[in-house]
Amino acid sequence: MTRLVALLCAVMAVGIGGYFVLGTSGTNTTQISPFVSAANAQDSSEIDISTVEEMTLGAEDAPVTMIEYASFTCPHCANFHQNIFKDIKKNYIDTGKVKLVYREVYFDKYGLWASLIARCGGADKFFGIADLMYKSQAEWVRAGGAPEIAGELRKIARLAGVDKETLDQCLSDGQQAQTMVAWYQHHAEADDITGTPSFILNGQKIANQGSYEAFAKLIDAELEK
């Protein structure tokens, strides 16, 4: 297993380097590339990931489960959430037909910060904060250097009602950062995730469909089984 965890924990601190290489394919999917360097990193297999809460929407007994792998810094993920997801939620999740499981992918330190902040308000606030992050992604990812981006992410969380003390605690929790990266690695490797957004529909990996109609066709086929 790739040894990435300690390095990602280190880049939590504003101003410390270490990045994923970010590339874009021609299929509206951002590709996952390895870390530039991961020397002396702790093996993620040594970390207990059972404490990580799955972020879900929809009925637990929904006949269709859709797992989404996404990064808060991925433009194709933002496009999905702003232009496709709202109709999936309205027509399938809110009606009890689909349960969504959302799993974060980390391309860079900013995606990790965003994930820690989105989870900082707990499950009740997670999807609301995630929606704000995707809506304003084009602004906060281009806010400047690390201090400016961190500041913009904090503003989003404060807008959602997360207080400063709680945010400080979340962003200084190195163990949680390590655990989140190990959790991501475990699931991404198990599901062979190579880009974002990626989806698992009732156990079957599917490509980003590019439109609500295409997703609806696949979901309806599962509902008819």
Question: What is the residue extent of each domain of the chain?
Answer: 5-223
The matching CATH number, chosen from 3.40.30.10, 3.30.465.10, 3.40.50.300, 1.10.1060.10, for 5-223 is 3.40.30.10
Closest to 45 measured CA to CA, from 211, 195, 181: 181
Q: How far apart are CA 4 and CA 15, in angstroms?
A: 19
The beta strand positions in 124-183, using DSSP E, are: none
How far out from the chain centre does Cα 117 lie? 11
- For residue 204, which amino acid is it? Q
Per-residue confidence in pLDDT tens, the chain, 225 aa: 333 444 444 444 433 233 333 334 445 655 543 332 232 345 566 889 999 999 999 999 999 999 999 999 999 999 999 999 999 999 999 999 999 999 999 888 899 999 999 999 899 999 999 999 999 999 999 998 888 998 999 999 999 999 989 988 888 888 888 899 889 989 999 999 988 999 999 999 998 888 999 999 999 999 998
* 3-class secondary structure, 4: coil
Is the CB of residue 67 less than 8 Å from the CB of residue 158? no
User: Whole-prediction pTM value?
Assistant: 0.83
Looking at residue 169, its pLDDT comes to: 87
Question: What values do phi and psi take at 56, rounded to 5?
Answer: -130, 155
Which helix H or strand E contains 69, and what residues bound it?
A: strand 64-70
Using only the alpha carbons of the chain, give its radius of gyration: 17
Looking at residue 46, its pLDDT comes to: 80
Question: What values do phi and psi take at 13, rounded to 5?
Answer: -70, 135
Peptide bond into 75 cis (omega under 30): no
Q: How far apart are CA 213 and CA 219, in angstroms?
A: 10
Which bin fits 203, alpha (ψ -120 to 50), beta or left (φ > 0)? left
